[in-house]
Structure 1
Amino acid sequence: MKIYKIETVQHLNTTIEECWNFFSSPRNLETITPDTMGFEIQDYDNKQMYPGQVITYTLKPLLGIKISWMTIITTSKTNEYFVDEQRFGPYALWHHKHFFEATDTGVKMTDVVHYALPLGFLGRIMNTLMVREKIKTIFAYRYNKIEELFNSKK
């Protein structure tokens, strides 16, 4: 199985507490996901993120085909990091780490995603043709939305 990695870093003009409060709420996933993805949370317990939390949602990542996805928060440390992993969904592997570090000017936020596609050779072709660029597009949208939310304040 071929494993791919995407990493992004963003600096936020906010406090670590405000940053954590936003990103540890599963409800805010809708805010930072492109509307074209058709992202809809189906179920979660309306609590701040914690290890063992289950989040289910539907989305349309490619070609408008609706899929179901189940994420588990595997680990979390308030104001520092959390990890979500796909349990059911389109990937053979989806492991997403979120790190938050207070700095002199705000917060350094780092996202690291490791993912793999099913179907062996066919999955590698799909990654080259469309999946990697789609993920990059989603993360670019998130970057811009987060800039708008945290870094355009007067």
Structure 2
Amino acid sequence: MPKIELTTKIAAPIEIVFDLSRSIDLHKISTSHTNEEAIAGKTSGLIELNETVTWRAKHFGIYQELTSKVTGLERPNYFTDEMVKGAFKRFVHEHFFSEEKGCTIMNDVFDYDSPLGFLGKLVNFLFLKRYMSNLLEKRNETIKTFAESDNWEKVLPQ
């Protein structure tokens, strides 16, 4: 069961960082290189507790669909999304937010199982964990860039 843990320090208020992390619109921006789009469920705005979103994106040259659901949410400190349907055997993505010396500390814990038994473990070892880490790091960098500028106003409801 691979686990990816990332910490990102952001010079912005916790509420802005938290909401940017739940923004369907910002997620589309951060994954534009995969042609990712929300095609069902919540397709724009802020995803809330018990809502789902189905994403369609091109990974490894193949278009794939993945549906996730927000299964826990405590604004502005925490939310969890879990795969309901998709290519993984399972995944749980926990998002933790705290404040420290005027900054927001965003911690991601992405815990997943690859499909296909031993072959999935081999794929994970060879490249999947690195690929997923890069996707999450790019997403977090986009959140940081928007939060630390006035660009957050373009994607968050006023």
Same fold flag (TM > 0.5):
yes
Question: Sequence identity, in percent?
Answer: 25
Select which of 136, 140, 154 maps to 1:139: 136
2:146 alignment counterpart: 149
Structure 2: gaps spanning 5 or more residues: 151-158
1:25 alignment counterpart: 23
Greater relative contact order structure (CA < 8 Å, 6+ sep) = 2
| Deviation string, structure 1 residues 92-147 (Cα, Å, up to 9, x no partner) | 01100001112222200000000111111110111112211211221232243234
Alignment of structure 1 residues 33-112 onto 2, 5 Å: 33=31, 35-45=32-42, 46=44, 48-62=46-60, 64-112=61-109
The one-letter amino acid of 2:48's match is: Y
Range that drifts further, 127-136 or 106-115: 127-136
Q: How many residues align?
A: 149
Shift of 1:47: 5.3
Root-mean-square deviation over aligned CA pairs: 1.7
Range that drifts further, 69-78 or 141-150: 141-150
TM-score, normalising length: structure 2: 0.86
**Change beyond 3 A, Cα 1:47–1:32:** closer
Shift of 1:152: 6.3
The one-letter amino acid of 1:75's match is: G
TM-score, normalising length: structure 1: 0.88
SS of the residue corresponding to residue 134 of structure 1 reads helix
CA contact (8 A) 2:13 2:104 kept: yes
Select which of 8, 11, 16 maps to 1:10: 8
The one-letter amino acid of 2:33's match is: T
CA contact (8 A) 2:35 2:58 kept: yes
CA contact (8 A) 2:21 2:143 kept: no
